[in-house]
Every structure is written in C-alpha cells, then in structure tokens.
Amino acid sequence: MDAAIEIVNPGWLSLVVDAGRPGFAHMGVPRSSALDALAFAALNRLLENTPGTAALEVFGTEFALRFSGDVTAAVTGARTAAFLDGAQVEPWATFDAKAGSTLRVAQVLEGFRYYVGFSGTMELPPVMGSRSTNLECTFGGLAGRPLVRGDRIALAGCRRVARRSVPASHIPAMGAPHVLHLLDGPEKELFTADSFDKFCNIEKNLWYSVSTKSNRTGIRLQGEPLSFARTEKGGIVSEGLLPGTVQVPPDGAPIIVLFEKTMGGYARAGVVASADLDRLAHLRPKDRVMFDCVSPGEALELSDARGSYVSSLYKNIGG
C-alpha cells in the first residue's frame, strides 16, 4: 500500500527521530534519539511496528499533516487535543486516516514534545544506522533539518492496524512542576557543601525555571547559581558525558545534558535518575523544576518501579 505524509504546518519544531545512534560515541557522534523513550516505544507498540521505527517528534501547536494513502497513525508523548478532519483523536491511541485527511494538533494539554507515528516506514535513508536528525551537524532525518511546510515523506509497507490505546489512567504524568531525582555527579565536591545541599535538598524548596534558551542539546535552568568551592570555577578536563547529567559552567547556572553531546568540560554536579529521563522531554520554557537528591539504592528502587509501570503500560497496549 503506497502512502505518504505531507507537512502542512510543522508547529514550532518537528523532526524525524528514532532510537538513535548508540555505539558511535567514541567518535563524538551523539545518540540523537527520541527524547521521551517510553512515548516513542509505546507509539511503535500501538502501531505494531518494529521497535525503533522512525516517527516525528514535535513541539508547539498548530502542527498539521495531510495523509495520502490509507494509514494507521497515533500520537503519544505530550497530551494533545488533536483532530483528524475535525473529529477528535484520542491521545496514545491508534486511528485510521484515509487518503486526503488532515491531522491537526490544536492544543498541547500536558507535557511538551509529542510523537506522531505511522503504520509504515518513512522512506528516508538511514545515516549511521539511524533516521534520527542530528540538527547541529545537519545529517539524518530529512536532509538533516527540521521539517517545513510542503515536505513530503513516503511511507513504505503501510497496513491497517487494529484499534489500540493506552488507558488515560496509564498515560504518564508530564506536567510542571517537575521534581527530578538526582544522583551525585562525579564533581559534586567542586561545589560548596551549602550550595550543593540547597541545590538538591527538597526541604530547601529551591525552584529553578527552564530557560527559553533550552534546546535539544541541553536544558538551561535559571535560578540560584551553584557556588564553586574554589576560585578556579570547576572547569574539568573534558570527558565522556551521560544524558541527564547536570553540568555547571562557571556562571553557576545548571544545564541538563540531553542526547546531543558525548563529551563536556563543565563540572558535573549530578545525574538525573534514569526513572526520570523521559520526563526531560517535557520541560517547557518557564516550567518550574526542583531536584531531589537520591542514593544509588533509591535510584534503583525508582528504576524498578518505573520498570513495573512500563510493563503494565505495555500490557495494556496488548498485541
């Protein structure tokens, strides 16, 4: 079944993403994967796709695309008010789109980034094993750039898929304020004990605000800067970085590293617990963020709990 999508309105930013490019970090190539891994994986389960099938990652309203050919599609991630030719489309659920119909996202109700997937494979050449867009270096995705009005992407192997949905009660919470559990980072000792404690002790009630300068590379936070214990301001010899690391440049304003950097030279105050990584996709400019320090044992408990939640979500999808 031949089908395609055509972008009518890209919203603020829409990109082709998939599971990214693991295994190339030693040559400086970042993962560039879908930021909300659960929403992305659930999307492909709903659509009975091979895990890792590329989808669109979008933020902002007014995103719209036209289908040519009959396709089953779904929208996961941020909770949206979306319409297929005027009929409301349920979030985190498959829907059948007929040739000529238009999907439009009118509103984002909770969260930030949403994922639009199809029951077929986008006919785009994989680059280094992935269709994810590396925006900074302009490769992957569609010509390495964000989608614009008029872009047309052919879909191969489209088929009709049974109606499936994630019950509303199982859709993850994505709204602000965000409390992020944080493990100590390798350079915790470079900060004054007072400053570090204030930064990630929830009893101190210290909130940060997401800066409008945030992007897919990093989430910049505004609020009380961290203080370095010594005057050299904590620059370190550059080394490998993990996603979710909270880096602190000399000005003391924390930056949460996402999936676009493999090395860094700023002091690493903490690392966001793996159970909270998907949440990072939903930090919108001006959202409030607080850090809550946890021990490795507590992080493991959170990760186990997250694992059970993900399993039960998948069980609800069935298939």
Using CB under 8 A, which residues numbered 289 to 308 contact another protein? 296, 299-300, 303
Nearer to another protein, 203 or 232 (CB): 232
Under DSSP, the state recorded for 61 is S
Contact 80, 43 (CB under 8 A): no
Q: Please report whether residue 244 would count as binding another protein according to CB under 8 A.
A: yes
CA-wise closest residue to 4 among 156, 131, 125, 126: 156
Q: How far apart are CA 131 and CA 124, in angstroms?
A: 7
How many residues touch another protein under the rule CB under 8 A: the total is 38
Least CB distance to another protein at residue 214 (A): 15
Smallest gap from Cβ 267 to another protein, in A, equals: 13
> Cα–Cα distance between 13 and 59 in angstroms, integer?
6
> What distance in Å separates the CA atoms of residue 228 and residue 188, rounded to the nearest whole number?
10
- The binder of another protein chosen from 11, 111, 185, 252 (CB under 8 A): 185
Any idea what the Cα angle at residue 261 is, between residues 177 and 55, rounded to 5°?
70
Q: Nearest-5° angle of CA 287, CA 167, CA 307?
A: 70
Distance from first CA to last CA of the chain, Å, rounded? 22
79 versus 220: smaller Cβ distance to another protein: 220
Applying the rule CB under 8 A, the residues between 12 and 31 that interact with another protein are 22-30
* Closer of 30 and 146 to another protein (Cβ): 30
* Least distance between another protein and beta carbon 289 (Å): 18
Confirm or reject binding of residue 51 to another protein (CB under 8 A). no
Q: Which is nearer to another protein, 14 or 32 (CB)?
A: 32
Residue 205: exposed, middle, or buried by beta-carbon count in 10 A (0-12, 13-18, 19+)?
A: exposed
Nearest to 8 by CA among 57, 65, 62, 61: 65
Which residue, among 156, 171, 167, has the nearest Cα to 53 in the 3D structure? 156
Q: Which of 227, 155, 161 is nearest to 197 (CA)?
A: 227
* Closer residue to another protein in complex, CB, 22/319: 22
d(Cα 80, Cα 63) in Å, to the nearest integer?
Answer: 11
Q: Quick one: tokens of 316?
A: 């609800």
Q: Find the shortest distance in angstroms from Cβ 200 to another protein.
A: 14
Pick the stretch among 40-48, 148-156, 179-187, 226-234 that binds another protein (CB under 8 A): 179-187
Q: Could you say which of 72, 214, 245, 247 contacts another protein (CB under 8 A)?
A: 245
Please state the closest distance from residue 249 (CB atom) to another protein, in A: 12
Using CB under 8 A as the binding rule, whether residue 33 contacts another protein is answered as: no
Q: Interface residues with another protein (CB under 8 A)? A: 22-30, 127-128, 134, 136-140, 183, 185-186, 237-242, 244-245, 262-263, 268, 271, 273-274, 296, 299-300, 303
